[in-house]
A and B are shown apart, each in its own frame.
Chain A
Amino acid sequence: MLFNSLEFLIFFIVLFISYWHIIPQKINTQNLLLFFASIFFYGFWDIRFLGMLFTIISIDYYFGIKISENSGKKALFYLIICLINNLGILFYFKYANFFIQEYNSIFNKDQNLLNLIIPIGISFYTFHGISYVIDIYRKRISPEKNYIQYALFVSYFPLLVAGPIERATHLLPQINSLKKFNYNQAKEGVKLIIYGLFKKIVIADTIATFVNPTFENYHNYTAYSLILAAIGFSIQIYCDFSGYSDIAIGCSKLLGIELLSNFRFPYFSESIKEFWRRWHISLTSWFKDYVYIPLGGNKLNSFLRLRNIFIVFMISALWHGGKITFLIWGFIHFIMYFIEDVFIYKIKIQQFTKIQKVIKKIFIFSIVTIAWIFFRSDNYESSIGFIKQVLLNCYENPKNFLEFSPNQMILYYSLFFILVDWVFRKNERDLDNVKFKYLGILFVNLIFFHLLSQSEESFIYFQF
């Protein structure tokens, strides 16, 4: 069930009315309803996915209690067993075929690929579970004894398939308390839903109709069309993913639950470091807390610290899937991080002029866009082919390339969105400070028109 579908609208209206008006306003009944709604939401894709979800929930629930009941080496033993289970399942579904392919190509074998259906959102809910058991081991939280409440923490439908990746320390206390309707919170939720739908339906899906064929048949396009398609993809993936997060956070607000923020205008960053503080925040902070800090964090010398950052970028790349192109994407970001860390920040420039700041923003956006080419391409050959096509043909006269209708559309939609995001950026998502009343009406109208004229598209991050 997609957030941008009619089924979801009906599902959510029924849930909202039942949640606030029909069921008794008690913690258990509220949680039970949310739990069943989440199961229905997930099972709507494929009922078989529920088996995997409950397996992971049950493993983490059981080991969470076991870890808390023991201490020292025994607790560590239970933690390791639990992590092996979680990561084993994740590796099997996401990387088994990748390793078989690599094995076949290196040893020139013809091993059959596994016929696997990857459960949607497995990377997200596995990470929920892992953070939960590690937090118990670190004595940050006590285990949740109520199975339904724990299951709801992992399977809570707004964040089940594409995050934000929540922490037990943040979400479980909210689940364990009575949810009360708050007008301002609900209003904020509606605004976020509208803005999220605008980003997904109006911007991302429209740009996708032009960007997808360009990436698939890059041979047939001019250098400038390809550059525009790469920029278009940068906007598309941001609107697609942050649109999803906004809708998830908005829906959750309507149900009286606050979720972690996932994006803070990443394309206006002035460095890669800042970009990663603003892009997919919940995953970045997850890696920081559960990979980077355990490896030594900032306390180590420069070499070891950069080694740890390299490890985090590579794991982050692999988290998206077993593809060389993801690793290259992660590596480009690491290289930029490395250059910034070793060279640029050594130069003490106290104040940048406005123009310098804009140039920095454009530069960072360009680097991120180049990295997205690898992320978007089906394989290594296509990504190199795409870049070659740009470099070999960039001497062509760009005069007429904007006469090509798809290029116009990518440009108009991208510029429109950048302008809107720039307006919102000034207020750091405090949508009350923006003239949202008028913008909201414009957004809703645009959403209606695009919904009426386009088929609903899945979210890019569902594949991870």
Chain B
Amino acid sequence: MLRFYKKIFIGFIISIIPVLLIVIRYLIIDPYNDLPIHYQKDITYIFQSLGDQTTKKILSSQKKINCFIFGSSKSLSFKAIDCKKKLFKNNKTLHPYHYANWGESIGGIYKKLLFLNSENLQLKYIFILLDGNLSFRGNGNAHDFDHYMISGISPISYYYKHFSEFINPTSYYFNENIRILLNQKNDASYYFRCHFDTKFNDLYYNKKLIKNKNQKKQLSKIKNILVKELLRNRGKSNYFKRQISTNEKNILKKIKMLLTKSNTKYIFILTPIKNRFKLNNYDYEYLEKLFPNKIIDASGNNLLTEKNLLFIDNIHYFSIINEKIMDSVKTKMKNEKVL
């Protein structure tokens, strides 16, 4: 019997050595920037989650940030730096920050607001960019790949999840992950189409994406679009089905309570989508009723969405669209003193 236990023990020790070596190597590389000393590091690998990184940056910031832009990856062209320049005329007391997440949900935005509040960050100005196809998905939960302080999972599960995702052979990036472990050149390093700035957390798409003359022509034409066109009444369009669930209604109410309590000035922007779908009238009216005069609807049929070439893919668009949206925010600020 003793011989059996001895063999099992030796076999186990020999078998565990490669696993231990990989764990040690993983901790040295820290590919997800999980160790607090790496929180301020920029995104190095494409599998790093945007929302996860942005929370880490806030945790290591000097808590000066007081203006936030929430939304999905679509919101990335709504630049924090432009907010500072265009909307706040380089006001030195305002520090905008892009606090987005891939496919952000309304629940994720609420959890992030709660987190900012708990971190004693001042919520002076808030811009919430909502997507008809992403923000309302029924359960009102934050993404489980978000930072553990947002998603609510335990820190150990969060770190373990990163590690298990990294070594998962079925992962899309598995081959690259092996190269990262072996310190070899890999395609997962460097975000291939864009780069981040560390101060505002803005993301810049590579200009090479503008491929042809037609696209350039379209981009130059849009500069002449009048802002009032964007702010016109909700016209005929395709509509999403009703999607704001009871849970999400409660979340929206809580967001309102929190923003009112914090004396925050805020605005909601419904982003355009290439297929020109709009939020359902019922849902829109609910939002309008809950947040009167605080909504800009850039979705559906309008002069922005009819120019297909302004979209990078079916979802994302060039920053010029958000520049126009920002102009409309500015007009709203002036005319209706919303912010």
Binding site for B on A (CB under 8 A): 20, 181, 183, 186-187, 190, 206, 209-210, 405, 409, 440-441, 444-445, 448-450, 452-454
Contact = CB atoms under 8 A, between A and B. Distances in A.
B290 interface: no
Given A453-B167, A454-B164, 17 more contacts: A183-B3, A186-B4, A206-B170, A405-B172, A441-B11, A441-B14, A441-B15, A444-B12, A448-B15, A449-B22, A449-B167, A450-B169, A452-B19, A452-B164, A453-B164, A453-B169, A453-B170
B37 interface: no
A183 B14 CA distance: 21
B7 interface: yes
B18 A445 contact: yes
Nearest to A208: B170
Interface of B: 1, 3-4, 7-8, 11-12, 14-16, 18-19, 22, 163-165, 167-172
18 contacts: A20-B1, A181-B1, A181-B4, A186-B4, A187-B4, A441-B11, A444-B11, A444-B15, A445-B15, A445-B19, A449-B167, A450-B169, A452-B163, A452-B164, A452-B167, A453-B164, A453-B167, A454-B168
B7 A449 contact: no
A206 B174 CA distance: 13
Given A190-B8, A441-B11, A445-B15, A409 B170 contact: yes
B56 to A, nearest CB: 23
A187 B15 CA distance: 16
A454 B170 contact: yes
A39 to B, nearest CB: 27
Contacts of A210: 170
A36 B170 CA distance: 39
B16 A448 contact: yes
Given A187-B4, A187-B7, A441-B11, A206 B169 contact: yes
B181 to A, nearest CB: 12
A206 B169 CA distance: 8
Contacts of A444: 11-12, 15
Contacts of A190: 8
Given A183-B3, A186-B4, A449 B169 contact: yes
A448 B19 contact: yes
Contacts of B15: 441, 444-445, 448
Contacts of B16: 448
B65 to A, nearest CB: 36
Interface of A is mostly: helix
A166 to B, nearest CB: 25
A453 B171 CA distance: 9
A307 to B, nearest CB: 46
A453 B163 CA distance: 8
A113 B7 CA distance: 54
B331 to A, nearest CB: 44
A409 B169 contact: yes
B11 A183 contact: no
A187 B172 CA distance: 38
A355 B3 CA distance: 46
A190 B6 CA distance: 13
A-B CB proximity, top 4 nearest: A453-B168, A444-B15, A453-B164, A209-B170
Contacts of B14: 441
A146 to B, nearest CB: 28
Contacts of B170: 206, 209-210, 409, 453-454
Contacts of B167: 449, 452-453
A181 B4 CA distance: 10
Contacts of A445: 15, 18-19
Nearest to A446: B169
A450 B169 CA distance: 7
A90 B178 CA distance: 49
A428 B218 CA distance: 70
Contacts of A409: 169-170
Contacts of B3: 183
A203 to B, nearest CB: 11
Contact of A183 (B4, B19, B165, B169): B4
Nearest to A408: B175
B152 to A, nearest CB: 19
B163 to A, nearest CB: 7
A445 B21 CA distance: 12
A441 B13 CA distance: 10
Contacts of B11: 440-441, 444
Contacts of B172: 405
A450 B167 CA distance: 8
A225 B288 CA distance: 48
A452 B14 CA distance: 18
Contacts of A187: 4, 7
A186 B16 CA distance: 21
A418 B338 CA distance: 68
From A187, A409, A449, name the one whose CB has the most chain B CB atoms within 10 angstroms.
Answer: A449
B246 to A, nearest CB: 27
A449 B164 CA distance: 8
A405 B219 CA distance: 36
A43 B164 CA distance: 31
A23 to B, nearest CB: 15
Contact of B165 (A20, A209, A453): A453
A209 B171 CA distance: 10
Nearest to B7: A187
Contacts of B22: 449
Contacts of B163: 452
A449 B169 CA distance: 8
Nearest to A442: B15
B269 to A, nearest CB: 34
B205 to A, nearest CB: 25
Nearest to A444: B15
A33 to B, nearest CB: 17
Contacts of A440: 11
Contacts of B7: 187
Contacts of B18: 445
A409 B164 CA distance: 18
A452 B168 CA distance: 8
Nearest to B18: A445
A409 B172 CA distance: 10
Contacts of A209: 170
A452 B22 CA distance: 12
From B1, B3, B170, name the one whose CB has the most chain A CB atoms within 10 angstroms.
Answer: B170
From A181, A206, A405, name the one whose CB has the most chain B CB atoms within 10 angstroms.
Answer: A405
A440 to B, nearest CB: 7
Nearest to A181: B1
